[in-house]
Structure 1
Amino acid sequence: MEQPGVRDPAPEPLQFVQDLVNTVDLESDRDELRTAAEAAAWARGQGLSGRHFDAGALADVLTLREALRDVCAAHAGTDVPAATVDALDRLLARAPLRLTLDAEGRAAVRPTDGLTGAAGVTAAAAAAIARASADGTWQRLKACAADSCRWVYYDRSPAGRSRWCTMAICGSRAKMRTYRKNSRADAPEPG
């Protein structure tokens, strides 16, 4: 799902995580994963198995999506709720990864063969995060600080301190709210 005016996609491997979290647009209430069939189709579109998506798998994928959003918000300065950490621990325990080596001896973390459903999606996200953590890009995948938005974007700013998915929309709204609040506080009281 693409949000107008939002920055370029995250680099690989983080684009998978960004695409998963952004399957819902909170402002317009559009969700690509309303049913198990839609979740299966989304997984197939990402090159994963679309098998074994039932109501339980859909619930797990939605839990993963929102937990990853919370973690991306933490990259912008908030704390990850304890319930999110617990949910991620539960999901990751069912999505094993394996270490592989190529002909040149380079190591890579990959999902274990044969994973389907929510475990396949979770393992793919975990492998992407492991690669991004190793190359130092994971901390730049952030959730917009605007509570009504929370769109996940890749922070390409030099200092890595961006707070909004786009300054033109969410940043401007936040600055206008602050301006209005300060203007009301500075206004003389009537009478």
Structure 2
Amino acid sequence: MNTLDVESGQDALATADGLEGFLAAQGLARLRPGPSDLPAVRELREALRAVCLAHTGTDVPPETTAVLDRLLAGAPLVLAIDAAGNASPRPAAGLTGAAALTAEIAAGIATAVADGTWPRLKACLADNCRWVYYDRSPAGRSRWCTMAVCGSRAKMRAYRANRARRGA
């Protein structure tokens, strides 16, 4: 989800080479993406960013859930049982490109839901940031990727707005 820097506009998934490089860096080169996969992968990224934003207290827009429903329908998972009897979701055999990446991500989300960590994956509330981060705060209620930058900016804007209201 952090392949797009909202503030600078730099997008690691702007080209097919960028997608290949990203997947290789993540150990997922076997997914064999092609240029035709770029729109679906970027659509998936933005839909997942919206879900992570919802973890801060907003609603996921219906059009976003429709996008995710469509992408996930083309990325089936199977339940794999290991020798110890443990079960885990895995992408169905034969998937490649965007469908394979979607299935890999869906399997990771299913695991994160099961262990309770999924709601802690959040997108920064700052409109010019939207960086996805893991909320390590004790109560799990952080709203910004970092208090030193985005949180401070938001609090300063609120302070100035309150001060201007009181002065008016």
The answer, yes or no, to whether TM exceeds 0.5 is yes
Assess if the C-alpha contact under 8 Å between 1:142 and 1:153 holds in 2. Answer: yes
CA displacement 1:111-166 (0-9 Å, x = unmatched): 11232110111011100000000000000000001111010000011100000000
Identical residues among aligned pairs (%): 62
| Aligned counterpart for 1:102 among listed residues 82, 100, 104 | 82
| Aligned counterpart for 1:29 among listed residues 1, 9, 12 | 9
Q: How many residues align?
A: 167
| Aligned counterpart for 1:54 among listed residues 35, 43, 60 | 35
| Aligned counterpart for 2:112 among listed residues 132, 137, 140 | 132
Give the unaligned 5+ runs of structure 1. 1-20
Of residues 127-136 and 25-34 in structure 1, the stretch that sits farther from structure 2 once superposed is 25-34
Q: Name the CA distance, whole Å, in 2 between partners of 1:153 and 1:25.
A: 13
Task: Provide the residue aligned with 2:140 in structure 1.
Answer: 160
1:83 aligns with 2:63: yes
Give the unaligned 5+ runs of structure 2. none
Assess if the C-alpha contact under 8 Å between 1:40 and 1:117 holds in 2. Answer: no
Task: Provide the residue aligned with 1:145 in structure 2.
Answer: 125
What's the RMSD between the two structures over aligned residues?
1.0
Counterpart of 2:23 in 1: which secondary structure?
helix
Q: Name the CA distance, whole Å, in 1 between partners of 2:3 and 2:33.
A: 19
Q: Name the CA distance, whole Å, in 2 between partners of 1:115 and 1:41.
A: 19
1:73 aligns with 2:53: yes
Report deviation, 1:95.
0.7
Q: Relative contact order (alpha carbons < 8 A, sep ≥ 6): 1 or 2 greater?
A: 1
